[in-house]
Each structure stands twice: as structure tokens, then as C-alpha cells.
Amino acid sequence: MIERIRAMSATVIEPRATQSAVSLVSGETWNGKLFDGDWNTASNTLSVLEPATGETLGEVGLSDPATMGQTVARAKEGQREWASWSTDKRAAVMREAARLMETEREAVVDMIVRETGGVRGKGYVEIQGTIDELYHSAALLIQPEGELLPSPNPSRLSLARRVPIGIVGVIAPWNFPMLLAMRSVAPAIALGNAVILKPDPQTSIVGGALLARMFELAGLPKGVFSVVNGGPDVGEALVEAAGVRMITFTGSTAVGRRVGEVAGRNLKRVALELGGKSPFIVLDDADLPAAASAGAWGSFLHQGQICMASGRHIVQRRVADDYIELLAQKAKALPVGDPFRAEVAIGPIINAKQVERVHKIVTDTVAAGAQVAAGGTFEGLFYNPTVLTNVTRGMPAYDLEIFGPVAPVIIVEDEEEAIRVANDTEYGLSGAVQTGSLERGLRVARQIRSGLVHINDQTIHDMAGIPFGGSGASGNGSRFGSTTNIDEFTEWQWMTIGGQPTRYPF
């Protein structure tokens, strides 16, 4: 795995020389402040900690839910100006934002590693994905803006055009805070909307302050992008706020249900990207060493704290013992530690509460009859990669999204049972099939109910140019990426045009 992380790091573009006057990371800009187009000193602050050490990385301004209306009013003013800009000018701002991020790549990656607890390869993937979202969003602006419709009156044109929604509220998670914010923020802004972003309080620097500084330096008009910081009360105020026309939320299914309820009551458009329990199917003709490599990557990457993580390894009995042995070897060999100060494969879990939750799922599953083939122990926030065997329906590790470095293995007799188990979940985000037969892989993959599915690969994949999203408890069917962003972040307006005024009998 270390070799693969090195390879990922080696493929990134070399950063340009950092310009001292253009600093995204410097706390001098954002420490103790909030951003609504200007940096305003906050009455209270929120500490952002490094999970690996507990060290304070910075203090961001803490928002007051009672002032959300003021932020919305500023956003309305900025959005009116921004929507009037030509598409060329808007695209230029998005490209400049991407260039700024490229310029400070190494410093930003350092902060991603320290703030999220992810290894350095994960940091490079996150910043490159962020840059890609900016460039892809700029490219949206070369797409047609509407359609010419048939008109029963030959003297009048009838057309439908896409117009900005207005103000979009974005609530982003802590695991990939920069990328998963930018997946909504970049296309929404490029298409003429204003955005109010609420990052997770645990990752408010790379997930909020750095993005605000980036857009400020890129020349975005004031008010078009704002950041509000805080806990659930600030998020609820954003969802409730009059004038916010759409909410995009990435996070847990439980919180997503609440967001959907509040947004729906206020007749807002809502896009939910929620949890997952992605099946990783290993059929009896699979290349087992390759499958174990992919399975380990899918379950242990970023400590398993990814919605697309391989949540259930569904393995045919004929190859189960060999697969479990290979997967357990992988787990035992992965070094665990501080990813900013040592070369490791597994960093810290985000906080102590999450460690307790992961360990309770593991111990309750073992108490119900499962066995530990590797791991099952932790020290502080560092949870060792864990393989559980003899996992069956009804056990916590079978049913629950773990969000930790745990690979539950479920043994099945045949292909039909593998498909049945894969679909035995309320989630529907990602899936994967390992097999030596392309025909067999296609047959199985087509029967997995999920928004994403991969043959002879693992479950964690995302790119700016794909329609990303899930269904069921994994989301409400919204899709981020590529030109599907146009559907998400604009709405239709019908317009007719005539050279002469139409006269009526009244």
C-alpha cells in the first residue's frame, strides 16, 4: 500500500513557487474571523485540532445562528452581480482559483494531512480532486444554456433556458472536507449562484477558511461565497434560512434525513449524499492476491472513513479461507501512526467518540459469534486495521456503516447468494465485483443496486467528470459531476419572443 501511495504522490503536478503575498494557509488571514466576502472578526472562536497529536492548528470564527439572515442578504447582493457576468469572466475566476490551489499545493496538502488525519497520498488525491472540480466547473460554461422549442406561432420563438437557482447552502463533512465541499461549491458558483458553505467544525480550515481565501484572491465578487462555522445549530439555521433556495448535504444518513425534512418543509431543493455499506464481492474465479489488495485498499484507506468504503467483503466459500488469510496479512502489515511525522498507511480516527463507536461495533459483532482474523485493538485514536470473519446477517458489522478500518467478511455459497447479500442493505452507493470472467462480472454488477459499481476494482472511486451519487439510505438520487451539475444547480425558465406585440380580444 505504501508503494501505491508513493505512486499516487509521484503523479501529481509539481507546484509552482509559492508567492508569499498569496497565502491560502496563513492563519493571519482567517484566524478568529468569518468570511462573507470580507474577513470579519468574530465574537467567539472555534478551535481546530490535529487528531494525531491534539495540537491546536488554528482558531476560526464561530458563527451565530441569529445572524444567518445577514449572511443571506449579503449573498443575495453578490449573486445578482455575479449572475450578470459573462460566462467567460466567470470561467476565468474558476480557473484562477484552481491555479492558486496548484501554486500552494504542498502547503495545502500539509494542512489536509494534519487536519483530517489522512496519509499524504490521500492529501494529494484530495487537492487534485479539488482542482479538477474547479476546472470542470469552468468547462460547464461552454455548454448550451438552453433549448429552442417548437412554437405553434411561427412569428414567436419559444425557448427554455437554464437560470441560476440563487443561493445554495452547502454542508460538508470532515473526511474529505475540501473536495466534498468543492464538489458542490464549484459548479454552483460557476453556474451563477451564490454559496454559503458550512464546513464540519473539526475541519473548518481546509474545509472553509482556505477555500474562502482562494476565492477572494481569485477575484470572486464579495458575497458570492461565504463561510459559516459551528455545530448543528448553525447548520439548521442555514437550512431554515429564507432566501436559501437549495441545500446540498454530504454526511451521515441520520443527519441527512433531518436536513431533508427541514428543507422539504421549507420547499427547498435538496441534494443528499449520505452513507454507504458498499459490497465487495469476491467470486471463486477471482485473482485472489489482486482481490485482497483491492479489498484492503477499499476498507482501510483513510482509516475506512469514506462513504464508499468496502463495507462487506462477500466471498464465495470455495476461496474464502485463502482470501481471508491474504486480507489478514495485508491488515497486519500496514503501519499505523501520525501521517504528518512518519511514513504510515493508517492515521488516526477523527475523534475519540468515533473510536468508541468503531470498537463497540467490532466487540458486539465478536460477541455475536464473529471472529477476529486481524486487528480489533486500538491505542488512543489509532485503530489497527481489522478483519472480521464469520460475519452473518443481524450482526452489527453486517448491518451498520462502521466508518473505521474494519473489513467484515461474509461467506456465501454461490453467485446468486452473493448478489442477494450485496443488495441486503438499505444503502445504495457503491459496489465492486472481483472475477476472472468479464461476462460474469457484468452479469453480477448489473444486479447490484447502487449508484456506482466497478468490475475488478475496489469500491472507492470519484472523479469530477462522472455522475456521482447514491440512492436509498445513501442519498436521494442527486448526481454531482460532469454536465449533471447543470441539472442540480440551475432551473428551467420558459421564454417566448416576438417581434410585434400580441393582441387579444379583451
Q: Do residue 310 and residue 340 come from a single domain?
A: yes
Whether 225 and 259 map to the same domain: the answer is: yes
The conformational region for residue 192 under phi > 0 = left, psi -120 to 50 = alpha, else beta, is left
Residue 227 is predicted with a pLDDT of 98
Looking at the fold, whether 262 and 295 belong to one and the same domain comes out as no
| Angle at which helices 415-422 and 438-445 cross, to 10° | 40
The confidence score (pLDDT) of residue 11 equals: 36
pLDDT of amino acid 478: 87
Determine, yes or no, domain membership for 299: yes
Residues 91-145 have pLDDT tens digits of 999 999 999 999 999 999 999 999 999 999 999 999 999 999 999 999 999 999 9
Domain of residue 189: give its range.
12-274+475-493
Name the residue with higher pLDDT: 269 or 23: 269
Parallel, antiparallel or unpaired: strands 432-434 and 146-149 = unpaired
Same domain, 19 and 78: yes
- Residue 96 a catalytic site member: no
- The more confident residue out of 55 and 3 is 55
Q: What confidence tens digit (pLDDT) does each residue in 295-354 have?
A: 999 999 999 999 999 999 999 999 999 999 999 999 999 999 999 999 999 999 999 999
CA dihedral angle for residue 124, residue 129, residue 132, residue 133, rounded to 10 degrees: -150
Distance CA 382, CA 346 (A): 8
Q: Which among 50, 126, 216, 307 is annotated as catalytic?
A: 307
Q: What are phi and psi of 175, to 5 degrees?
A: -75, -45
- Do residues 400 and 381 share a domain? yes
Q: What confidence score (pLDDT) does residue 280 get?
A: 98
Taking only the tens place, the pLDDT of each residue in 139-160 is 999 999 999 999 999 899 999 9
Q: Which of 102, 273, 401, 488 is catalytic?
A: 273
Position 500 in a domain: no
Quote the pLDDT of residue 13: 30
**Predicted pLDDT of residue 19:** 39
Question: What is the torsion angle, in degrees rounded to the nearest 10, for the CA atoms of residue 383, residue 389, residue 392 and residue 396?
Answer: -10
Confidence of residue 23 (pLDDT cuts 50, 70, 90): confident
Same-domain check for residues 286 and 270: no
3-class SS shares of the chain: helix, strand, coil, % to 5: 40, 20, 35
**pLDDT, mean of residues 478-493:** 92
pLDDT band (50, 70, 90) for residue 162: very high
How far apart are alpha carbons 270 and 239 in whole angstroms? 10
Instruction: Give yes or no: residues 431 and 487 share one domain.
Output: no
Quick one: average pLDDT of 169-189?
98
Of residues 2 and 193, more confidence is placed in 193
Nearby residues of 506 by Cβ (< 8 Å), 6 or more positions away: none
What CATH number does residue 411 fall under? 3.40.309.10
Domain total in the chain: 2
Average pLDDT over residues 492-496: 97
pLDDT at residue number 151: 94
Q: What mean pLDDT is reported for the chain?
A: 94
Q: Residue 38: its pLDDT value, please?
A: 96
Rounded to an integer, the average pLDDT of 453-480 is 93
| Residue 477 confidence (pLDDT) | 86
pLDDT digits (tens, 9 = 90+) for 185-243: 999 999 999 999 999 999 999 999 999 999 999 999 999 999 999 999 999 999 999 99
Q: Is 307 a catalytic residue?
A: yes
Of the pLDDT bands very low, low, confident and very high (cuts 50, 70, 90), residue 2 is very low
